[in-house]
Amino acid sequence: MRAVPVELTNEALEDGLRRHFGLQSFRPGQADVIQSVLSGRNTVVVMPTGAGKSLCYQLPALLLDGVTVVVSPLIALMQDQVDALQAKGISATFINSTLSDAERQDRQRRLRQGEYKLVYVAPERFRSEAFVSALLDAKVALYAIDEAHCISQWGHDFRPDYAQLGQVRKRLRPPRTVALTATATPEVRDDITRQLLLKDPNVYVAGFDRPNLFLEVLSVSGDDDKRRAVQALAPLGSGVVYCSTRKQAESLHAHLEQQRVPAVLYHAGLDDDERRRAQEAFMTTAGSVAVATNAFGMGIDKPDIRFVAHAGIPRAVEAYYQEIGRAGRDGQPARVVLLFNHADVFTQERLIQSNHPAEPLLRDLWEVLRGVESFDRGVSTLAAQLGSSEFEVSAALKILEREGALSRGQRGEGRYTLMLKEGSASYHPRSAEARALLSALVTSQAPKVRWSTALSLVARRAGLSEDVARHALALLERADVVEVQRPFAGRGITPLKQVPFHELGINLERVRAQERTQLLLLKRMTDYAYAKRCRRAYVLRYFGEVGAVGSDCGACDVCAGARTTLPAASRAARPVGPLSPERYSALAAEELKRFRRGLAVDLGVPPFIIFNDATLYGLAAALPSSRAEFLSVKGTGESRWERFGAQVVQVCMLARAAGDVPQAVPVAAGRRRR
């Protein structure tokens, strides 16, 4: 469909800004982008988190005749944006899997009738022919893709359904398209343009220079140094600490609580209520620190965050910059610190490699799946059946799903099976919500009879939201009033084809290419950590915003000196006995311990079965680079060389490359050198 240009003066745009959003002026770059969209040009926008990307499609949506379709990756983010727009009197809605069938059909009917100016959807929604049909009947004025880096395999957060948005655009034929992201390098920008089938779009890159953020890298030797560094940052005020794993986040959170720092814990392993409470506590408590995995942050807009620290190296500069962009949104000084240990790079490399499984695992997985109508026993069961890790099996499932070989249901779909216990009608819960839910259950069914029901139905009868009803049901279960069998908590897996693996036509070269790309992105992040020149200039060059910084920015540790120092700690001498030599590579020893621990979990054996401490320290001292050097270490042998030699040599060679060669170890008091 050919776009009809809408030409407005800057004064008219500012009038619309004040009238609809109550804002007095545009942020840098916003007015140019909005003019481009209104003119009918397809537009690619790269602005960092907090620079105001949303306005670049929200204001045009109100000035154009028709509906704007916004593709967004997170349901929670849709809800927040729609609530904010409706509070301003703007007709906006979302259509996603949280709605009942009746609600979804009603909103699609209203969409057809032109009652909405903005409709938010996840990319998966375009699988629904009923929704696409409603869009075709509506008058689409603007097709907006938020978090557009998800469309690119060069990006750090590729999502398969985003890759179909170009074909969706081809079918909808919207008069104008805008793709927005906070984290697109030149390669990703080109890929977005190609995947969305855009011809000669206007490209805007702006807003990456944040001079109020002080960029710093602090070398640490391990988790104890990381804990002390975060403790040193806490007096600055409210902050976010990103951890690589849930276990690391839980440990660091416990340490901060012991030090009486107001801290909240947030990761994907917590239930919805726990995450919501953590987010609310962080937003409302002065000086609070959020210790989190990268599940935390989308939609977080707390202006007075004074520091962001990373306790592990992120996989890409894009992800890092997006996360540190949450600091200092009030324009006041804030500090961002990467707590860097090269051993974390090795860990990320292993995770990337595991995330791109080899053909034998894909083949074995497919042979299991194509023999069943649907697999609903969870990834952990599937991994045990294949003798592999859950992480690798999850990655293999994503590949098969992307290639159209299988489909996966929504998480937690299904019905609850309930049974009221004898005497439940006479129980009086303290919680008003639990009382309401129990009353609804008692009127639905007699005691000691099992029945299946949807949680949404029970919640509606009790006059509660589904989240509140879920919490109330847990209270009743703990009080032994009702027996609860929950629906399968994972995602059902359904094979879409019944052919041998070689007939699927899966292009594994694309998997290997993506693996190489992610390793390259990690290398660029590692280069940032080791940078000897201005870090601020490194970031701006990376995103293509050149010429913004001179030779001395005054806002990074390279140009202005370090600001974060580790508090003094008593360092006890490492005990040295017959199990460890007096000279070894600390980096190699730490990484070999990680490798041994992970392998022990995968194989289900104690770590010492793989190799004991004496052998481990012997390897860290010898740093072997060949079979002969490996076998010269006491406790190795041919069988261990065949099974573990390649990984051990890789660790030792990386330790050499990092300059961590065997160092003398302090001698414990009372022990004489020989």
Q: What is the pLDDT of residues 193-219, one digit of tens each?
A: 999 999 899 999 877 888 999 999 999
Q: What is the pLDDT of residues 108-134, one digit of tens each?
A: 999 999 999 999 999 989 989 999 999
Count Cβ atoms within 10 A of the Cβ of residue 667 and give its class: 0-12 exposed, 13-18 middle, 19 or more buried.
middle
Residue listed under structure tokens 């006041």: 332
Q: What is the pLDDT of residues 271-306, one digit of tens each?
A: 777 888 888 899 888 899 999 988 776 556 788 999
Tell me which DSSP letter residue 89 carries: T
Question: For the chain, what are the domain ranges?
Answer: 10-205, 213-340+531-560, 349-411+491-519, 416-485, 583-664
What is the distance between the alpha carbons of residues 611 and 502, in angstroms, rounded to a whole number? 39
Which residues does 418 contact at the CB level (< 8 Å), separation at least 6? Answer: 441, 445, 450, 451, 452, 453, 482, 483, 484, 485
In the prediction, which pLDDT does 154 show?
63
Residue 495: how many other CB atoms lie within 10 Å: 19
CATH (one of 3.40.50.150, 1.10.150.530, 3.40.50.2000, 1.10.10.10) for 349-411+491-519: 1.10.10.10
Residue 341: how many other CB atoms lie within 10 Å: 23
In the prediction, which pLDDT does 265 show?
92
Cα angle: 303, vertex 82, 305; to 5 degrees:
10
Which structure tokens are listed for 484? 């609860």
Q: Are 10-205 and 213-340+531-560 equal in CATH topology?
A: yes
Pairing of strands 92-94, 118-121: parallel
What is the distance between the alpha carbons of residues 251 and 440, in angstroms, rounded to a whole number? 41
35 or 460, higher pLDDT: 35
Tell me which DSSP letter residue 556 carries: B
Average pLDDT, the chain: 85
Class of domain 10-205: alpha beta
Answer yes or no: is pLDDT of 499 > 80.
yes
Residue (of 102, 147, 151, 150) closest to 120 by Cα position: 147
Q: How confident is the model at residue 573 (pLDDT cuts 50, 70, 90)?
A: very low
Tell me which DSSP letter residue 410 carries: -
In the prediction, which pLDDT does 303 show?
87
Q: What is the pLDDT of residues 245-267, one digit of tens each?
A: 888 999 999 999 998 999 999 88
Answer yes or no: is pLDDT of 7 > 80.
no
Answer yes or no: is pLDDT of 668 > 60.
no
How far apart, in Å, are the Cα atoms of 5 and each of 10, 43, 648? 15, 14, 63
HSE-up (13 A, CA, CB side) for residue 316: 26
Answer yes or no: is pLDDT of 549 > 80.
no
CATH number of 213-340+531-560: 3.40.50.300
Q: What percent of the chain has pLDDT over 70?
A: 90
Count Cβ atoms within 10 A of the Cβ of residue 278 and give its class: 0-12 exposed, 13-18 middle, 19 or more buried.
buried
Residue (of 535, 419, 408, 509) closest to 473 by Cα position: 419
In the prediction, which pLDDT does 301 show?
72
Q: What is the pLDDT of residues 223-240, one digit of tens each?
A: 889 999 999 999 999 999
In the prediction, which pLDDT does 550 show?
61
Indicate the SS3 state at residue 299.
Answer: coil
Q: How confident is the model at residue 672 (pLDDT cuts 50, 70, 90)?
A: very low
In the prediction, which pLDDT does 546 show?
64
Which structure tokens are listed for 451? 């029945």
In the prediction, which pLDDT does 105 show?
93
Indicate the SS3 state at residue 357.
Answer: coil
Which residues does 194 contact at the CB level (< 8 Å), separation at least 6? Answer: none
Q: How confident is the model at residue 571 (pLDDT cuts 50, 70, 90)?
A: very low
Count Cβ atoms within 10 A of the Cβ of residue 32 and give its class: 0-12 exposed, 13-18 middle, 19 or more buried.
middle
Rg (CA), the chain: 28
93 or 478, higher pLDDT: 93
Contact 210, 76 (CB under 8 A): no
Q: How confident is the model at residue 666 (pLDDT cuts 50, 70, 90)?
A: very low
Which residues does 326 contact at the CB level (< 8 Å), separation at least 6? Answer: 49, 50, 240, 297, 300, 302, 305, 308
What is the distance between the alpha carbons of residues 662 and 670, in angstroms, rounded to a whole number? 23
Q: Determine the topology of domain 583-664 in CATH.
A: DNA polymerase; domain 1 (1.10.150)
Start-to-end CA span in the chain (Å): 85
